[in-house]
Structure 1
Amino acid sequence: MRTGGTDEAITMTMRKVNVAILVLLAVAFLIIVQRNLLNLSDFLHKEHPDAGMILPFESELSPDLGLELVRKGEEIPVLITAAEERLGSVIAAMNSIYQNSKANIVFTIVTLNDTVDHLKVWLSKTKLNNVNYKIVIFKPELLNGKIAKDPQTLEASKPLTFARFYLSAYIPEAEKAIYLDDDVIVQGDIQDLFETPIKPGHAAAFSEDCDSASAKGIVRGAGTQNNYIGFLDFKKEAIKKLGMRANTCSFNPGVIIANLTEWKNQNITQQLEHWMELNTKEDLYSKTLAESITTPPLLIVFYKRHSSIDPMWHVRHLGTTGAGNRYSPQFVKAAKLLHWNGHYKPWGRTSSFSDVWDKWFLPDPTGKFVPVRRHTD
């Protein structure tokens, strides 16, 4: 009887062990399946980012679960402006940034009061509904006395172009931040751009206009805007006193990596405002080549006092006549960030590589913003 009882106890113990093993295997299998589904989701989003849809299995999984798993680490503050007439460009830019990175990205969207509701609807009704963002209202009165009352340029009539001057005010809690123009598409991991080294004592990093990637995009029809003389009037006494060389390579402020601690310590915003105000009195900017009134103050304040961004992280001039065509499809595919600076935007009638931009555009749920194409059915 004792032997029989012992055998029965051993049998029961083994059954419990087997059950426990089966449970563990089942749990392990479910974890593997869930991870594979999440990885497949990421892959499909990257391959078909323009779909703007929730994949069938995503509706069964908690979307927050995937985000909690991959959106950890230090915050990466990204500031971008949102003008009503260009709102689709902001959405495409944000979508490309978000889908190509697993970093903990926090967007600061600077806009005007009349755009807020439209922007919120667009974000909430698409796959950007889980994006971490805050909206800041730009106050145009900040520019009173700093730009001409009768603006001669397109930039002057668009106050949001000056939002980059106030980076430290809009993102006061961060030590470092990224500013991006809205007409960009990011194809690399924004974490890599954020980790761009900034030299001690420098408040920002920019892309040099004489780097090999951007220089290829310059064409005669666009004007020689790759040096300081293209933006500033070196005949003016205030410019002469600075001792700057006219042939110094300029930089493009459409992408800025800012050390906000240095920005505050050096009073960069106040310096930029000083040169804006002085220009209204002495007309310091070049009239022959550049139309920009945003770039010249930055060129002055950061003259030989800025770090450099990898050229592949700011491939420019895709919106300039003929310039974008000088890039090969292979080069554009390899670029980490594409910038359609110039008159021709990828949501307009004609632009180089607009198909690349289209892949990241998410249709407007309200139907207000529709990309214009020359050939439509």
Structure 2
Amino acid sequence: MTLRRVNVVILILLAVAFLIIVQRNLLNLSDFLHKENADARMILPFESELSPNTRLDLDRKGEEIPVLITASEDRLGAVIAAMNSVYQNSKANVIFTIVTTNDTADHLKLWLSRTKLKNVKHKIIVFNPDLLSGKISKDPKVAESSTPLTFARFYLPLFIPEAEKAIYLDDDVIVQGDIQELYETNLKAGHAAAFSDDCDSTLAKGIIRGAGNQNNYIGFLDFKKEAIKKLGMRANTCSFNPGVVIANLTEWKNQNITQQLEHWMELNIQEDLYSKTLAESITTPPLLIVFYKHHSSIDPLWHVRHLGTTGAGNRYSPQFVRAAKLLHWNGHYKPWGRVSSFPEVWDRWFIPDPTGKFHPVRRLQEPLDQLSPSLKSRVGH
């Protein structure tokens, strides 16, 4: 073979090798682009910090999950923490309906617009107190009379008219699970709502027993009254907690649930039907009557309650609290107050008020903790 032929063969081999290399690179590039397309919606952690406006928002498509929560001025920090926990722990397409008052709406708008919650889908509705005219007592001794927002859950179809299903949350909750799971709670045929039964665990019974039969109907209703007797309800029936509600709004409207609740509110004004053993609760009794043995149940881990009750927090282990999907500080002791159980869990989701108006009370008290016992007593700590 002549030298010229050898050179030609070498050139051909080099060309073939080059083509093979190019082909492999093109295949790798194709795989890479395919993967990029599949992961196009994924945003890396450092990218989320640099681009907060896009963090997780692109993933929030699909069925809307309406969540209603109320916002009063003195508890506005609680609303922010609750909303943040819901939003950060789920990629669901959550739409918040926030029911508030005229004097709080502007403060709420500023808080949302100046923090990382500015991209959360929400609508703010100002509660019309005329809805409750003639339905609740004006007695200043009844705490709930001065906080009409507690009755917003009675009017779910009014505030969320376009939805077939919705979630109501009290403001003193933290959601640690994916709200999609709670939303998918199965409601039995004909049931307009699901609640957490107060007898769903021995722990709940132990906590509540010392607070005056709060785990059954007799703790909320006066069974000596004729209107209550006529209902034929058993006084020892397990009550439920309406701080978390999953509502079938179609059934709610078909069964005129709001009108039924209003009837019992009006009748109570005339006949004083509610029990005096508790703190004059006027929100829970109408719900207990209307939904007597006609409601579905929520998974107990989706409503771990009594964190705001004396000594209750000590009955929960840190491991159990971490496993809980929703924590509720119902009771007198709130996580933004001076004393509460597991305040560090609430702190994780609280976003400081950019206006400087709201501060967790216990944070203002922290310097006092460094004082001697005698000095603490002098300043009323």
Where on the TM-score scale, by shorter chain, does this alignment land: which range? 0.7 to 0.9
Q: Which residue of 1 aligns with 2:106?
A: 117
Higher relative contact order (CA 8 A, sep 6+): 1
- 1:345 has 2:334 as partner: yes
Pair 1:242-2:231 in alignment: yes
**Misfit runs of 4+, over 3 Å:** 6-37, 59-63
Q: How does 1:63-74 map to 2 (within 5 A)?
A: 63-64=53-54, 66-68=56-58, 70-74=59-63
Once the two structures are superposed, the pairs formed by residues 189-268 of structure 1 within 5 Å of their partners are 189-212=178-201, 213-220=203-210, 222-268=211-257
Amino acid at match of 1:64: T
Give distance in 2, aligned partners of 1:299 and 1:128.
35
Count of residue pairs brought into register by the alignment = 359
Q: Does 1:158 align with 2:147?
A: yes
Map residues 1-377 of structure 1 onto 2, 5 A cutoff: 17=23, 20-21=26-27, 23-24=29-30, 27=33, 38=44, 41=45, 57-58=47-48, 60-61=50-51, 63-64=53-54, 66-68=56-58, 70-212=59-201, 213-220=203-210, 222-373=211-362, 375-377=365-367
1:58 deviates by 2.5
Q: Tell me how large the CA RMSD over aligned residues is.
A: 2.7
* Structure 2 contact 52–116 (Cα < 8 Å) conserved: no
Offset of 1:14 from its aligned partner?
6.3
CA contact (8 A) 1:82 1:110 kept: yes
In 1, the alpha carbon distance for the partners of 2:15 and 2:318 equals 72
For residue 112 of structure 2, give the secondary structure of its aligned residue in structure 1. Answer: helix
Task: Name the SS of the counterpart of 1:135 in structure 2.
Answer: strand
Contact 1:219 1:323 in 2 (8 A): no
1:290: Cα distance to partner?
A: 4.4
What TM-score, normalized to structure 1?
0.88
Q: Structure 1, residues 71-123: CA drift from partner, whole Å, max 9, x if none?
A: 12211111000001100000000111111111111111111111111111111
Q: Structure 2 unaligned runs (5+)?
A: 368-381
Superposed CA deviations along residues 123-155 of structure 1, whole A, max 9, x for unmatched, are 122111111111111101111100112243211
Q: Secondary structure at the match of 2:94?
A: strand
The answer on whether the counterparts of 2:209 and 2:215 sit within 8 Å (CA) in structure 1 is no
Deviation at 1:326, TM superposition (A): 1.4
Paired with 2:204 and 2:213, the residues of 1 have a C-alpha distance of: 12
Q: Distance in 1 between matches of 2:322 and 2:197?
A: 21
Structure 1 SS opposite 2:223: coil
Contact 1:217 1:324 in 2 (8 A): no
Structure whose CA Rg is larger:
2
Task: Show the counterpart of 1:50.
Answer: none
Decide whether aligned partners of structure 1 residues 243 and 37 sit closer, same or farther in structure 2, where only a CA change above 3 A counts: same
